Amino acid sequence: MTRPPPEPVQLIKQRRDAALSALVHGVPYIQFLGIAFERRGDELTAVLSYDEKLIGNPLLPALHGGVTAAFLEVTAIIGLSWSLIWDEMERGALDPLTLSPQTLPRLPKTIDFTVDYLRSGLPRDAYARARVNRSGRRYASVHVEAWQDNRARLYAQATGHFLMPPRDV
């Protein structure tokens, strides 16, 4: 009874990072807002780097409510897509090293998105994490939380429903 030796850690990291990078860098709007994703295993944290063009109220100053909504929606869509890609990748059904923006699986489409603004967005970096509460064949429901200085003090949260991309089975 011999088991195949475990894959070298660098190979696993390279594969997962390549998949995430193809997913995130394929979307121009994510680059426009300046959002990056950090990965720990399958957990993603979205980071919105502060920039003057994200301001909505120059007097306070505060982040634009639309920027916050967009940041949360981007986090939800990438989080949901990532959960789909992850399963296929780990099963070996998808080779991330061949992925490009043109060959990526289609992204889920937003049906509706509801944002709660809990505190005004400060002029500094913001972070967000998505939790897929339900992921069915056709529909998904995703919750997102965003914070700035303190993880426990959310500045916004959102829930969205998404239409799943058709899958060739």
Partner 1 sequence: MRDDKASLAKQFIQAIPHSRALNMRVEQIGDGVAEISMPYDEALIGDPQTGVIHGGAVSALMDTCGGAAVMSHPDAPAGTATISLRIDYMRAATPGQRITARAECYHITRSVAFVRARASDADADNPVATASGSFTVERPKGAGA
Contact residues: partner 1, CB under 8 A:
26-29, 31-33, 52-59, 62, 64-67, 69-71, 73-74, 77, 101-102, 104, 106-107, 109-117, 120
| C-alpha radius of gyration, the chain, whole number | 17
Name the residue nearer to partner 1 (CB basis): 12 or 117: 117
Dist CA 119 CA 7 (whole Å)? 45
Q: Residues 6 or more apart from 50 whose CB is under 8 A from it?
A: 123, 124, 125, 126
Dist CA 149 CA 163 (whole Å)? 33
**Min. distance of Cβ 124 from partner 1 in angstroms?**
15
Name the residue nearer to partner 1 (CB basis): 24 or 89: 24
Name the residue nearer to partner 1 (CB basis): 66 or 139: 66
Hey, which bits of 18-61 come out as E strands?
Answer: 35-40, 43-48, 55-57
Name the residue nearer to partner 1 (CB basis): 91 or 138: 138
**Min. distance of Cβ 71 from partner 1 in angstroms?**
7
**Min. distance of Cβ 39 from partner 1 in angstroms?**
21
**Min. distance of Cβ 27 from partner 1 in angstroms?**
6
- Torsions phi, psi for 85 (to 5 deg): -65, -40
In the structure, how many helices (H) and strands (E) does the chain have?
A: 3, 8
